Amino acid sequence: METSEIILREFKKLVAAKLYDKITVADICEEAKISRKTFYTHYLDKNAVLEKIINEDTVHPINEMRRLLRSESMKSATRLIVEMMHRNLFDNRVFYESLFAHGGETVFVALISSTITDLNSLILARRYLGMSEKEREYMAYFFAVSHAMLIRKWIRNGFDVSPNQLAQFFDTWALRYWADIDHAKNIPSKTIGAAY
C-alpha cells in the first residue's frame, strides 16, 4: 500500500474516533507511522486529506466515466454518473456519518461545494460557449452548492433514501434544468425569443 493510501486509511480511523477539529497532522503521522515531512510530501494539511477522500468518492468516478464514454453518450449517462457518485458516498457512509458526528460537516460542505464547482466549471466551459464567463461561474456554483446541500441533508438524515432515489431527485430538480439550458443555448436567439 502506498503512503498516501495509508494516510487516508489512518485519517478515516481518526475521524471515527475524534472530533474533527481535534485531529492534528501529528495524530495522522503517529497513526500512519510516518514523519511530518513524509505527510507534507503528500498533503498540505488534514483538510487536503479530506478533500482527497471526497474527490475519490465524487469527482473521480465522474472523470472515469467521462474518459470511457464519448461526449454524445455523456448526456444520457449524466443521471447514472450522479447515482454512481451517491453510491460511493453511501458505500462509505460510516466514514461520512462519523465525520458529521465529530464536527466535520462544515468542512465537508465547503470542500464538496468547491470540488463540484470546479467540475461544473470544466463542463460548462466545454458545453455552454454562448454563455458569458461570469454566468458560467455563477451557474457552476449554484448547481454545486445545491447538490452539496442535498448531500448534506442526506448524510444528516442517515442516508434515508437510496443512492438511486437521491439521483432521481437531483435529476428532476437540477439535471433536467441543466439540459434545458444546454438546449436553449444551442438554439439561435431569434427562436428563443419567439418561444416566449
Query: For 45-103, how does the pLDDT look when each residue is reduced to its tens digit (9 = 90+)?
Result: 999 999 999 999 988 777 776 676 655 555 556 778 888 899 999 999 999 999 999 99
The CATH 1.10.357.10 portion of the chain extends over 51-187
Share of the chain above pLDDT 70, in %: 82
Q: Which of 60, 57, 3 is nearest to 33 (CA)?
A: 3
pTM for this model (two decimals)? 0.83
How many CB atoms lie under 10 A from the CB of residue 125?
A: 13
The pLDDT tens digits for 10-42 are 999 999 999 999 999 999 999 999 999 999 999
Using CA atoms, how far apart are residues 157 and 140, in angstroms rounded to an integer?
26
Tell me, what's the pLDDT at 166? Answer: 96
CATH architecture of 51-187: Orthogonal Bundle (1.10)
CATH architecture of 3-45: Orthogonal Bundle (1.10)
The pLDDT mean for the chain works out to: 85
Encode 159-174: b = buried (16+ Cβ within 10 Å), e = exposed: beeebeebbbebbeeb
The CATH 1.10.10.60 portion of the chain extends over 3-45
Q: Is pLDDT of 170 > 70?
A: yes
Using CA atoms, how far apart are residues 189 and 171, in angstroms rounded to an integer?
26
Residue type present at position 6:
I
Using CA atoms, how far apart are residues 13 and 130, in angstroms rounded to an integer?
47
Q: End-to-end CA distance of the chain, in Å? A: 59
Using CA atoms, how far apart are residues 113 and 109, in angstroms rounded to an integer?
6
